[in-house]
Structure 1
């Protein structure tokens, strides 16, 4: 989720990624990643050697942009970056985005919630910390544009 708080996915008053606009993507808050790491350290016998796919929420990029727009009180439409532009940065990035757009990463959200009942969905994350971080980043961008 924190990828949506800065220049990685926020460009020129838009939410911009190479994800297909209507293909659900799974996201997770850093706090939840930390909660699972703490769980693994607290119960090493249960976690050593165990692989579990994790996610906190599943939304399309358009839904993510709409939720962010609502939370920050300004429109941030979703723009899909062409995969060719991503390939110019690196073929491995283009491969990853293509794979996610065609197959997608699919963790079992209900199972993840059983493991960590306090799992944060996108709207909750926006309310708690995300909207403030995004608003701060956008304000800094706006100031930088005015200074040019």
Structure 2
């Protein structure tokens, strides 16, 4: 049951993932509090206007975070992608420790779908598993979510859509799990509303599973013109450690693990498939990637 008297403290609320969580929690009737670096910034003011209580501070401000958690029911913790591996681990562990110290009833940590039980030896890939391992040792009730690859990644500049092609990490006959960022917020809201059901669990989150060929079909339909699909060339993957790691994980690692989409839909009945996302909330990003924004 939602606790009407206690807030949920959301980290990263001015970003995409934390922002989707704040929005979903507000819609579900939770009071929402957000740690923001600049309370006068454009995104912060949007949060305030939506009804979010702002707390200005940084990840270094342990006393501010402690105060922000003191009377909260739950915490949603997600960390920026631009942190060093060392800072990500340090901040992730500190946030979880403070949640434990302040008596938070339900702690939700957003990890990564490529996180696995076996460390790779590469700091940037092992940061999230190290945080997960620490969180599991704490007595605070915790749910760890591992969102699969964001649909938003497919419509970023540089993936070839403006040239009539989509370049990604899988072969045409290989499949990939995808999730819309807005669905992460809906899952987080569902998790925080039911500690008894989700406490102690680690969950991969996805909204669709498609092959490279199906990506080609879906993007062609959404774009209204032919979009061809191809995998990144081997030499490109070999030159980029991050892409190579993800491609390998999609072959036989954590990213290749199946997600029960029916179970996902039971938790989030509004679950977005790739096609539905491309034609709705992802439409603007698609048009920008295609170079057709504003054309009619």
TM-score (norm 1): 0.82
Structure 1 position 33 matched with structure 2 position 180 = no
How far apart are residue 10 of structure 1 and its match?
3.5
Which residue pairs with 2:271 in the alignment?
119
Q: Answer 1 or 2: higher relative contact order, Cα 8 Å, separation at least 6.
A: 1
Structure 1 position 5 matched with structure 2 position 148 = no
Q: What are the ranges of 5 or more consecutive residues in structure 1 without an aligned counterpart?
A: 142-148
State the alpha-carbon separation in 2 of the partners of residues 112 and 73 from structure 1: 30
Contact in 1 for aligned 2:170/2:247 (Cα 8 Å): yes
- Counterpart pick for 1:62 among 213, 223, 226: 213
More divergent stretch after superposition (60-69 vs 38-47) = 38-47
Structure 1 position 93 matched with structure 2 position 249 = no
Contact in 1 for aligned 2:207/2:261 (Cα 8 Å): yes
| Aligned residue pair count | 140
Contact in 2 for aligned 1:54/1:108 (Cα 8 Å): no
Contact in 1 for aligned 2:169/2:243 (Cα 8 Å): no
**Which has the higher Rg, Structure 1 or Structure 2?**
2
> Can you list the C-alpha shifts for 1:8-64, whole angstroms capped at 9, x where unaligned?
533532100121111111111111111112222333443332111221011102211
Contact in 2 for aligned 1:18/1:83 (Cα 8 Å): no
How far apart are residue 65 of structure 1 and its match?
2.1
Q: Which has the higher strand share?
A: 2
Q: What are the ranges of 5 or more consecutive residues in structure 2 without an aligned counterpart?
A: 1-150
- Counterpart pick for 2:258 among 106, 110, 123: 106
State the alpha-carbon separation in 2 of the partners of residues 124 and 36 from structure 1: 18
